[in-house]
Amino acid sequence: MIFQGEERRQMPTTPADPLRKSGDGDGPGKPDVKRPDTSDLLKRMKRVDPDAARRYRQRSGQ
């Protein structure tokens, strides 16, 4: 379970991943975002209004 901190299984990393090459000297790296533990995510889910989807109405788009 994601909330219990179980270690995630990982697919093998592609050895040559062009999207991770820089190309311009400023290539992708680890995201510079803070990393709360997954209990924060559980709290976030519990804050979701259970009736949000029931009230959610939109016009048709393309």
Name the residues that contact another protein, by CB under 8 A: 1-3, 8-12, 14, 16-21, 23, 26, 28-38, 40-42, 44-45, 47-54, 56-62
Minimum distance from residue 18 beta carbon to another protein (Å): 3
Minimum distance from residue 3 beta carbon to another protein (Å): 6
Minimum distance from residue 12 beta carbon to another protein (Å): 8
Q: How far is CA 21 from the centre of its chain?
A: 21
The first and second tokens of residue 2, run together, are 């994601």
Phi-psi region of 48 (alpha: psi -120 to 50; beta: other; left: phi over 0): beta
